[in-house]
Every structure is written in structure tokens, then in C-alpha cells.
Amino acid sequence: MKYTFTLVLYFFLVTSVLPQKSNDIKQSIITQAHFSAANELTVSWKPKESADGYRINYRTDLESNWIQLEGMVTDTIYTFLETYTEPVEVFIETIGGDYATGYILAGNEYFTPDHQERMLFLVTDTIYQALADLIEKYRSVLAREMIETELIIIGPGLTVPEVKGNIVSTYEASPLDYLFIVGHVPVPYAGNYAVDGHDNHRGAWVADAYYGDIDGNWTDATINNADASREANKNVPGDGKFDQTSIPSSIEIAVGRVDFSNLLKLSESEIELTRRYIQRNIDYRMGKIKVANRAIIDNNFNLAEGFAQGAIKSFHTFLEPDSINYGDFNQCTSQNYLFTFGAGGGSYQSASGIINTDKLVTDSIQSIFTTIFGSYFGDWDSPNNLLRASLARGSSLINAWSGRPIWYFHQMAMGRPVGQVFLNTINNNGNYYSQFGKLLSSISLLGDPSIKMSYHTPVTDLQVEGNELSWNPGENNDADAYTIYSRHGDSYWTLASDGPVYQTSLDISGLIDAGVKQFMVRPVKLITSRSGSYYNEGIGTETEILTTSRKDYLSKNFIYPNPAGDFLYINGEKENVPISIFDVYGRMVLKTSSVQEINVSGFASGTYILRMGNEIFTFIKG
């Protein structure tokens, strides 16, 4: 790799007012990326006064270890002369002085089409019975984001191992990207550790990570703590709670949970709170909920760990410095924010100087991505728990206990879902700095793990006329471009164009000739931030193909009978016209020309596509 340094003061080093007392700032390197016209990546950062220099690490494979560059950088700007087509993750650390780190995932007009993903949706039977229509609507919205869902309804009396058995069998049939748990599905507990530093909270903590670990060896034989002050935290051999304080192997599935049971201080029922959450989840994905690109960071601790450093490092990679408010967390109960972080001395229902469950009886948090830290309430399966109550009302879609360990959200600046942040956090074995809490089984994400940072209003009036697919951008659509996907039957969606298109129509004659039956158009926005830029796709709009010419021919029974028996007949005379028949997978099964009778007796039962010249017909072999 080639690199160069420059002494020019880089434009981004205009700083916001930062808190002077906090160890968070001391341990944080505030970083920004910039790309030249030649696609050269430059990373610059705010200097650290005590540092002798900086070490630059990077990786393009986000599953690999960091690659360390040689030598010590003494400047606060670094240019990679090698260009990249994929986002580059950069890790900067100080040499000498107070140790500080910074992380950024940088890309330049990066686009990759979404691929098909799978979610297992676990929901209690009481919630599904009450909200079945809304849940099915949510699943249909996910399908338009190319997230296939499999639903398992959890009835009363199931044990944690039985729930895990359902998850493993589903994963083994086809790997899962997400596990979304809705309701009080049995909660796993594991370990014997006072994660928050209070010995009276030593014992087993919540461990939804168990559900996301497909091949780890979880045991219930060695921990013997019958003295925990809270019954749920007691952990003795054979009680169904696991021994592992640390996860026994890497977590494969991004797990998130929404559980509003036992929030008796809130006036709304569990069903109503769940209904509201699912509806605002849908509304956010559909571009109906818009919030300001700003954040609050409010840390009432000044401990050496620097609990807010993850928020400081992450938020500065996608928000401008003057959009980050180091002020009172309670501002987010009256104004909307994209991200919030708050930390203060805690109980199960409160974080001092931040918020408490009693306040949430009348107020609600108006931020999409919320992180709160303090004692006790990170162990969230308790009555009127603050972490769950913070998610129950307002606009919040996720909540996480960020501090032990520290959560880093910088990858979301390039379109990654929050579930990837969860996996990075729980599987962190040294890639990201956190003084305490690595690999803990208690690490949890509350909320839908598939949510991204940005969404856009879907297109409308999608239709096919002749060989043209056309659509309307729709009201309040902020899209810069569109992606078009196609598929045969129930197969996976594939990109039908070379990349985003900038017009509102597309000639699809070649795809029609190939027998494509379904199309989906998705709005695309070029999102620019301090991490660079990328093309973000929104929710798609689908249509079945039915061309005008095909309507006309079918109205005249041009091919008959349909379904066909041993023979398929063609009405009318067509001279020197090639005829081909394809199965639903696009494989040609017959080729002929200018006939009025086709023997299909040897065809297997199913749907077939007949192409005659430029005309396409569908028939069923009985």
C-alpha cells in the first residue's frame, strides 16, 4: 500500500464545543473521511495533545483482522493512494500519552444491491392473536426490503431449550440473518458476574445471545450461586440457567427483542405497546417518520472507562459536530433526534440525571436509536424496567445498554443494519476498544435487529405497458435514483439493471422475452456524511407483469386449452415464427416454429412460458 502525508490543515477540523471534564473525550479520536475526484481516500482526525503519534490500521474485509501500516504517523491526516471499490474500515490509535481510538467505515458513492436475507420472527401466541393483521403487514413490508421472514408462534409452557430447538432447526434448513423476538418468549439467563460493578447484582443475567448461538456449548453444571439478592439472578446447577458469563462461541444470528410485558406503570397494555412499536417500525421503513440528523450525548459519570466514548466516536462519523448536543438527555422528550446516549447512576427503573420509568408514564423518548447506561437496568427482565420502558413509547426503535461493553455504530453510516452493530459488539474479541465487558452473554439488543439508519418513501403507480416498466416517484420522495429487481415465480430477486437508474421508466423487453413475471422498483438515495457517501435503498414496490399485447391474445384464447392436457393448440396462423417453451426456472424445454399443435404429454405438471416471436404466454400443464 502506498501512502502520503500532508501538512495542509484539513477543512473538517472545525470543532463543536466538547465537554472538558470527561474521560470520554480523552479516549476518543474524532475522525472524518474525504474522497478526491480520483477516489483517493483521506482520513483526518482531531489531534490528541498527549500523543506522540498515531498508528493507522485498516481492513476491507470486515470479518478479518486489522492490517497495521508501518511506522508512526505524526500528522493528523492520512491519504491512501490505493483506491477501493468497497468501503474501507479504518482504526486509528494513539502512540504514547493517553490511549485513544477512533473508527470509521468510509466509502465513496458506494453501491451494492441488497441480497436476500432471512429473519426468524418469534412471537407469543397472545400477541399474534391480537395483532395478526399488523404482523402480516410488517412481514410484507420486510419482503419488499428483500427480507424473507419465517414465523413461529410461541405458546405457553415452552422452555428455553425448546425455543432454541425451533431456532436451530430453522437455521439448519436455511441460515438466518436475524432473529426478532416479540413478547415474553422464555428468557435465557447465564453467568455469574456483576457486570455493573454491584456485588448484590452478581449472578445470572439475561442472555438472549444464547438464542443466536448455533454451535456453542452452553452448560448448566458448574455455577453455584444461591445467594443472589434477586431471585432471577440465582444460578445453581440444573436450574435451567447457563454457566457461561462469556459466550462460548461467536454468535451467528443478530438477535433483537421487543418485550413490553410487566410494564405496569405505563397505562397502555402490552398488546397496545407492541402494536404501536410494530406500526412505527413500518412507518419508519416506509419513510413516514422523519427526524432531524442530530444526537444528544449526556454522561453523568466521569470514570476512567469513558462510557460515552462509543457514542462520541460513532456519531461524529455520520453527523456534523454542531448537530451533536452534549446537553440534557431530557431534551429528547420534547424534540426528535436520530441518536441519543445517556448514562447515570442507576436502579432497575432509573438512570440518574437521564430518565426514569416514572417520567415515562407521561413522557416518551423521541429518538430512533437510543442507548442508555447505568447500574442494574441492563439486566432488563425485571418489572417496569427502564431499558424496556424507554422503548415502549415515543419514536424509539432500538435501545441498548452501551457502556460495559461500549457499542460502536459507525458501520451504520454505510447502510449496515443495527443487527450488525450487535454482532460486532458481542463478538468483539479485540477489534474494538472496550475496557470491560467483551464477549459477555448478557449483551442484548432491544428492538428490531434489521433496522437501518435511513429509509425513503416507496414509488407509486408501478405498471407495465407493452415493453415499458414505469412508475411515479410518489409524494415526498427524496430519491436520487431507483433500482429495478426482477424474479421468476418465488425465486430470489435479482438486479435487473446494471445499477441505479435515474429515469422513471425502463425498457424491459429483454426481460419479458426471458419469461420474467415480477418486477420491484426501490427508491435510492445518495447519502453523504463524514464517512463519505453510499447509495441507500428504500422499500420496494412490486408488480406482476401483464402486457397489453398479452391481454389481447389471451382474450382471444390464442393458446388453448389452459390448463393443457396432452396437446396445446395455437389459434391463428403464424408463418416462420419461432416458438420456444420454458419452465419456471427459465430452462428451454421445447423449440419449434410455425405450428398450431404442440405435444406436451411428456411435460411434468406445472407452469410453463411459451414465447412466439415477441409475444409471451403462460400456460399450465395439468
User: What are 342-364's pLDDT values in tens digits?
Assistant: 999 999 999 999 999 999 999 99
The fold of 556-621 is Immunoglobulin-like (2.60.40)
Instruction: In whole angstroms, give the CA distance from residue 330 to residue 373.
Output: 15
- The winner for highest mean pLDDT among 15-24, 160-169, 592-601 is 160-169
Q: Tens digit of pLDDT for each residue in 492-538?
A: 899 988 899 999 999 988 887 777 778 999 999 999 999 999 999 99
Region 196-222 average pLDDT: 98
With 0.75 as the threshold, say if the pTM is over it.
Answer: yes
Of residues 225 and 553, more confidently modeled:
225
Closest CA to 58 of 5, 94, 99, 106: 106
| Cα dist from 598 to 459, 571, 604, whole Å | 42, 12, 15
pLDDT of 117 strictly over 80: yes
Q: Which residues contact 276 (CB under 8 A, 6 or more apart)?
A: 268, 392, 393
Res. 402: pLDDT tops 80: yes
The pLDDT > 90 percentage for the chain reads 76
> Per-residue pLDDT for 101 more than 90?
yes
What integer pLDDT is reported at residue 585 of this predicted model?
63
pLDDT 10s digits, 421-432 = 999 999 999 999
Name the DSSP class of 564: B
DSSP 384-395: T-HHHHHHHSTT
Contact indicator for 341, 295 with CB cutoff of 8 Å:
yes
Structure confidence at residue 572 as a pLDDT band (50, 70, 90): low
Domain boundaries defined on the chain: 3-110, 117-447, 460-544, 556-621
| pLDDT higher than threshold 80 for residue 11 | no
pLDDT recorded at residue 567: 87
pLDDT in tens, 143-189: 999 999 999 999 999 999 999 999 999 999 999 999 999 999 999 99
Q: How far is CA 230 from CA 34, 185, 240, 350, in A?
A: 51, 20, 16, 17
Q: What is the DSSP secondary-structure string of 468-494?
A: EEEEE--TT---SEEEEEEESTTSPPE
Half-sphere exposure of 455 (CA within 13 A, CB side): 26
Q: Does 3-110 match 556-621 in CATH topology? A: yes
Q: Is the pLDDT of residue 282 over 80?
A: yes
CATH class of 3-110: mainly beta
Task: Return the CATH number of the domain spanning residue range 460-544.
Answer: 2.60.40
Nine-digit cell string for 543: 408488480
Rounded-to-10 torsion of CA 363, 369, 372, 378: 110
Summarised one tens digit per residue, pLDDT across range 69-83 is 877 999 999 999 899
Average pLDDT, stretch 364-386? Answer: 98
